[in-house]
Amino acid sequence: MLNVGKFIQKCGGKAGKAPVIAVAGSTGAVGVEFLRLMEERSTTFSELRLLASSRSAGKKQKFRGQEVVVQEMTKDSFKDVDVAFFSAGGAQSKSFCPVAADAGAVVIDNSSAFRMDPEVPLVVPEVNARQVLNAPKGIIANPNCSTILMNVVAYPIHVEAGLKRVVVSTYQASSGAGAAAMEELKEQARAWVSGKPLPMDIFKRQYIFNLFSHNSKMDPDSGYVEEELKLVNETAKIFAGSEAAKKWKQPFGVTGTCVRVPTLRAHCESINIETHNPISPERARELLAKAPGVTVVDDRVNNKFPEPVDASHKDDCLVGRIRTDATLPDKRGLWLFMSGDQIRKGAALNGIQIMELLLASKGK
């Protein structure tokens, strides 16, 4: 039987056994958040194994008041592991996810290494939860942060009115480039205030009081950066495996411009949507208000809409500025503005939700 099936049989449902959980990359921004979420959500386990590179091995991380020693990730790290969450970078995932899967673990991988592999499901639980079961390699991929956030707010509109074309401009936080990038932004603020030269080790430019085109790898032919291509390709894969794909069979267009802004840990996205069927802002607001993982913040009277500082450390994505784009006919145009915690729903929370989906499944 395949890993996911075995996992569900052993650990799924109320009678399931507590799993052995491994966190690969436990000392990174996303790894730390994963542990925090396990505390918050009272995740049950029989063993928690923290794994990292040799550089971090031996460090201690606090978990529920106790200190857990970080182990160096090796080929032998995954014996008896039931589920392994990976957020240790693409190279580590490529090397170790198959090892963990071979050892019998269900792997939830936050890197981009396997996302477009046709044998690896790419899952946003609010959109295509059932795909977790189609994981012949034992690996389930966590999508890119801006993809997850956009998908969570766009899906309820898709179910109702059918997406035809989605045009996205992002406002991405420093956290997307890791903990050191967040620190560099803060350090630049301190340097700016004290009149010292700005540290530019990571982004090689002024970041405080500035913004710039997303620093992911550029495809020089198309002119798109990887972050933008992820938004396009990952969304297509995720939505193709959703329930709504039975109703809306035609793929829809997604295009984006990704920008880094000097914020800390929540991304924003300005989303312009063309739909097949008309949809009023009132109906869109109603759908989003009851959608899982979404909180509507759309107070026109008090000019209160989604902001990064409000979305930070929240599970839900905030969405507002819900209004008709009248340049498209017959209420087939809709604007949304959203903010979501990049480290949380954009990475660690989505991963833990995938694990919870499996744990909630009944053993066969």
Q: Which residues are catalytic?
A: 145, 267
Range in contact with a second copy (rule: CB under 8 A) among 12-20, 23-31, 71-79, 265-273? 265-273
Point out which span in 15-23, 123-131, 222-230, 242-250 binds a second copy (CB under 8 A).
Answer: 222-230
Asked whether the beta carbons of 20 and 47 are under 8 A apart, the reply is yes
> Least distance (Å) from a second copy to the CB of residue 94?
24
Nearest residue to 3 (alpha-carbon basis) of 143, 106, 113, 129: 106
User: Which position among 7, 85, 248, 305 is part of the footprint of a second copy (CB under 8 A)?
Assistant: 305
Residue 305 CB, nearest distance to a second copy (Å)?
A: 4
Residue 289 within binding range of a second copy, rule CB under 8 A: no
In the complex, least distance from residue 218 CB atom to a second copy, rounded to whole angstroms = 5
DSSP code for 265 = S
Rounded CA separation 61/49 (Å) = 11
Q: Between residue 142 and residue 201, which ones bind a second copy under the rule CB under 8 A?
A: 165, 167, 169, 171, 185, 189-190, 192-194
| Number of Cβ atoms within 10 Å of the Cβ of 310 | 15
Contact status: 264 vs a second copy (CB under 8 A): yes
Residue 86 CB neighbour total at 10 angstroms = 30
Asked if 351 interacts with a second copy (CB under 8 A), we say: no
- Candidates 78-86, 104-112, 121-129, 315-323 — which segment interacts with a second copy by CB under 8 A? 315-323
Question: Element (H or E) spanning 95, and its range?
Answer: helix 90-102
Judged by CB under 8 A, the residue of 337, 347, 349, 355 near a second copy is 337
Find how far residue 157's CA is from the centre of its chain. 20
For the chain, the distance separating the N- and C-terminal CA atoms, rounded to the nearest angstrom, is 12
Q: Is 233 in the site for a second copy (CB under 8 A)?
A: no
Q: How far is the CB of 293 from a second copy (least distance, A)?
A: 21
Instruction: Give 1 or 301: the residue with its C-beta nearer to a second copy.
Output: 301
Q: Which of 360, 362, 353 is nearest to 142 (CA)?
A: 353
What's the CA gap between 338 and 351, in Å, rounded? Answer: 20
Name the one range near a second copy by CB under 8 A: 50-58, 83-91, 240-248, 324-332: 324-332
Angle at 104 between CA 100 and CA 107, to 5 degrees: 50
- Return the number of the residue (53 or 270) whose C-beta is nearest a second copy: 270
Q: Which is nearer to a second copy, 65 or 220 (CB)?
A: 220
- How far apart are alpha carbons 141 and 145 in whole angstroms? 12
Question: Torsion angle of alpha carbons 307, 109, 272, 286, nearest 10°?
Answer: -70
**Shortest spacing between CB 313 and a second copy, in angstroms:** 14
54 counts as binding a second copy under rule CB under 8 A:
no
Contact residue for a second copy among 42, 54, 222, 250 (CB under 8 A): 222
For residue 47, what are the β-bridge partners? Answer: 20
Angle at 115 between CA 244 and CA 320, to 5 degrees: 50
Residue 148: partners with Cβ closer than 8 Å, 6 or more residues away: 124, 142, 340, 345, 346, 347, 350
Task: Pick the closer one to a second copy by CB: 182 or 294.
Answer: 182
CB atoms within 10 A of CB 316: 19
Count the residues of the shown chain that bind a second copy, applying the rule CB under 8 A: 57
Q: Residue 134 or residue 169: which is nearer to a second copy going by CB?
A: 169
Q: What are phi and psi of 128, to 5 degrees?
A: -135, 50
**Rule CB under 8 A: which residues touch a second copy?**
165, 167, 169, 171, 185, 189-190, 192-194, 205-206, 208-213, 215, 218, 220, 222-225, 253-255, 257, 259, 261-264, 268, 270, 272, 281, 300-301, 303, 305, 307-309, 320-328, 333, 335, 337
